[in-house]
Structure 1
C-alpha cells in the first residue's frame, strides 16, 4: 500500500499552501498598519522647519491651512499669525484698524479678532506682539471712532450702562480689547483708554439729569450682566492702581469717602424701599430696572447730613433692658447757615 494516497497528497499540499497564504496575509496586514499609522514623534512646531517658514509663500500657507492634517493646518496658521503681527504687515494692520474707512476697518477688526481669539493660535505668542502702546493706541482710536457712530438705536435694552445706540462693529473691538487689556494695563492707560475713550463714552447713567457719571464703576459691578464685556474691561482697570487713579481723576469713579457714604445710604434705603429703580415712569412696563443687591437714589443735602449724624451717634446701654432714645448720644445739630 502506498504511504500517501492520491487524496492524502492533495490535502497535504492544500494545507501547506493555506499555511503560507495565511502568513502572507498577516504580514501584508501588518505592513498596511505600519504605513497608515499616524506617528507623533516630532513636535508640532517642527513639522515645517524654521528654515523653510520664511520662504513659504502666502498661497502655499493658505493651501496648508486647508489641509486635512490637523498638525499641518495648525503649523500654517501659526506662521500666518506670526507674520501678521510683525514688521510691515503689523503696521498695515494697525493702520487699517485706526482709519475711518469702514471697509478697511472691518477687515482689520476681523483679522485681529481671529488672531487673538482663535483656539488654534492659543499656544502661540501672538498676544505678546500685540501688547505695546502702538497696538493699544490703534485699538482705542478705533473705539473712539465708534463713539461718533452712536446715533441710531440698535438695541431696546433699558440699562444704566449699556447704550441703546452701540454700533455692531464696536462689539468686536470691545472683545479684542478685553482679551488684550490684561497683557499690559499701563500701556493701555498711556494710550488713552480712559482719558481719550471712556471719558467720551455715552453711558446712559452719565447722560441722565442729574448725571451719575461718577457711579459708572459701581453700576458696572451691579449691572454687569447687561454688558459683560465692558464690565470685564472695567474690572481689569480697577485691579490696577493707576487705573483706579485715572478713573477717579476723570470722574468715572467717586472718592473713597463718597463711595463709603453711598454704600451706607444704599444699605439704609434697602431696608426701607423696594429694589426697583424706575426710569421713564410713564411706561413702567419694560422701563424698570430690577436690582438684586442695592438701590441707588439721590437724596437731598438735609437727608444726607441726617444720615451722617446717625452714623456718628454713640449708643450706650447697661444691658438687661431694651434700647431707647436716652441711650443714644449724638452730636448736637449745628445750623449750617450760621
Structure 2
C-alpha cells in the first residue's frame, strides 16, 4: 500500500506514463490516417487478362461466329476466323467435301473449293491432308486443268508456271508442300506422272518429248522441276518416268545430255570479263569449254579468226581511262589501242 502511494505521488512516474500514452496515441493516429488515405485514393482497375478456352470455343454457335466475323474490331474478326478454320480442318466431313469439290468438272466449283482448302489449312494442319484421298483428288484436279491448246514446252529461257491457271498453281502448291514434308511415294502411286506430267505438251515425237523434258528440268527452277527432281530420286518415280517415255533408260544418254548442257551453257555467254581470265594459265582452261568460248567470241567479232586464249587474256590491257573526276566518264575519256599493236605496253 505504501508502494502504490509512492507511485501515485512520484512526479517522475506520472510524467513517464503520460509520455508513453502520448506516443501510443500518436502512432495509432498516424496508422489510422494512413489507412484512411489509402482507402480514399481512386486506383485504376487493372484489366484482367481473359483467355478463350476450348470450352468457350465449343459453346459458340454458328450464328454467333457469323456475327463475330462481321465485327468492326479486327482482332475479334481474326479470332473468329481462326475458330472457324480450326473447326473445319478438324472435321473430316468438311475436308472430304472440299476434296470432292476440287474434282468437279465445273471450273467455278473447283476453284472455290481449292481456295477454301487453302484458307482452312496451314503448316500446322498440313498433316490432315497427308492421305491417299487427298493425293488422288489433287491429281484429278490437275488432270481437269490440262490446257488442250498448250504450247510446246521447248523454250528453256521462259518459265511458264506464273502464267498457268490458278487451279493448277494451287494444286501444285499443295503437292509441293506435302512432298517436301512427307515424301513423294503417295504422289507417284496416285499416277501424278501418268495423268498430268506426261500429258504436258513436250512435243510430237518421242525423241522431242524426251529432249524438251530433259532441258526443262535442267534449265527451269520452279515447283514443277522441283517435283520432277523429287520423283527422280525414288525408284518408283524413275520407273514411272521411263514408262511414259520422258526419261532415258540408259545412264550413258543422261551423262551425254549433261555434257551437252555444259557446252550450251558456255556458248550462251557473249563475253567474259577479261579480269576473270587474266589470272588463269593455259593449263587451267577446260578443253571443251575453252574451245566453245573462243569459237563464240570469234563469231561475235570480239576476237579475230585464229585468235588464241592468250589473245583473249590480253584484251584487258588494250584500253585505259583518263578522267580527273570533274565530269562523268564518257567515250572520249577511253583511249584504246589498235589491234595491230598488241605488245606496246608489255
Residue-by-residue CA offset, 1:248-281 (whole Å, 9 max, x unaligned): 332222232211112223334556x3348xxxxx
Partner residue of 2:75 out of 61, 65, 68 = 68
Change (3 A) 1:56 1:217: farther
Change (3 A) 1:223 1:184: closer
Quote how far apart the aligned CAs of 1:199 are: 0.5
Alignment of 1:251-290 (within 5 A): 251-255=245-249, 256-268=251-263, 273-275=267-269
Partner residue of 1:231 out of 212, 225, 236 = 225
CA contact (8 A) 1:109 1:172 kept: yes
CA contact (8 A) 2:136 2:190 kept: yes
Quote how far apart the aligned CAs of 1:180 are: 2.5
Partner Cα separation in structure 2 for residue 263 and residue 17 of structure 1: 93
Between 1:59-68 and 1:261-270, the stretch displaced more is: 59-68
Partner Cα separation in structure 2 for residue 110 and residue 173 of structure 1: 10
Alignment of 1:295-334 (within 5 A): none
Quote how far apart the aligned CAs of 1:62 are: 4.2
Tell me which residue corresponds to 1:186. 185
Partner Cα separation in structure 1 for residue 81 and residue 230 of structure 2: 34
Quote how far apart the aligned CAs of 1:130 are: 1.5
CA contact (8 A) 1:161 1:216 kept: no
Tell me which residue corresponds to 1:213. 210
Partner Cα separation in structure 2 for residue 170 and residue 141 of structure 1: 11
Residue-by-residue CA offset, 1:73-99 (whole Å, 9 max, x unaligned): 54443122212xx03x33321221111
Tell me which residue corresponds to 2:281. none
Residue-by-residue CA offset, 1:33-70 (whole Å, 9 max, x unaligned): 2xx14367xxx7xx1139x74x7543444455667356
Partner Cα separation in structure 2 for residue 187 and residue 68 of structure 1: 39
Between 1:234-243 and 1:106-115, the stretch displaced more is: 234-243
Quote how far apart the aligned CAs of 1:140 are: 0.9
What TM-score do you get using the length of structure 1 for normalisation? 0.56
Structure 1 unaligned runs (5+)?
1-12, 277-294, 296-338
Partner Cα separation in structure 1 for residue 118 and residue 241 of structure 2: 27
Change (3 A) 1:184 1:111: farther
Quote how far apart the aligned CAs of 1:101 are: 1.1
CA contact (8 A) 2:176 2:227 kept: yes
CA contact (8 A) 2:142 2:167 kept: no
Partner residue of 1:241 out of 235, 239, 248 = 235
Partner residue of 2:85 out of 77, 83, 94 = 77
Question: Are 2:121 and 1:116 equivalent residues in the alignment?
Answer: yes
What TM-score do you get using the length of structure 2 for normalisation? 0.55
Change (3 A) 1:254 1:210: closer
Aligned-residue RMSD, C-alpha: 4.1
CA contact (8 A) 2:142 2:196 kept: yes
Moved beyond 6 Å, runs of 4+: 16-19
Partner Cα separation in structure 2 for residue 168 and residue 97 of structure 1: 12
Structure 2 unaligned runs (5+)?
1-28, 271-288, 290-346
Structure number with larger C-alpha Rg: 2
State the aligned residue count.
Answer: 236
Partner Cα separation in structure 1 for residue 40 and residue 227 of structure 2: 67
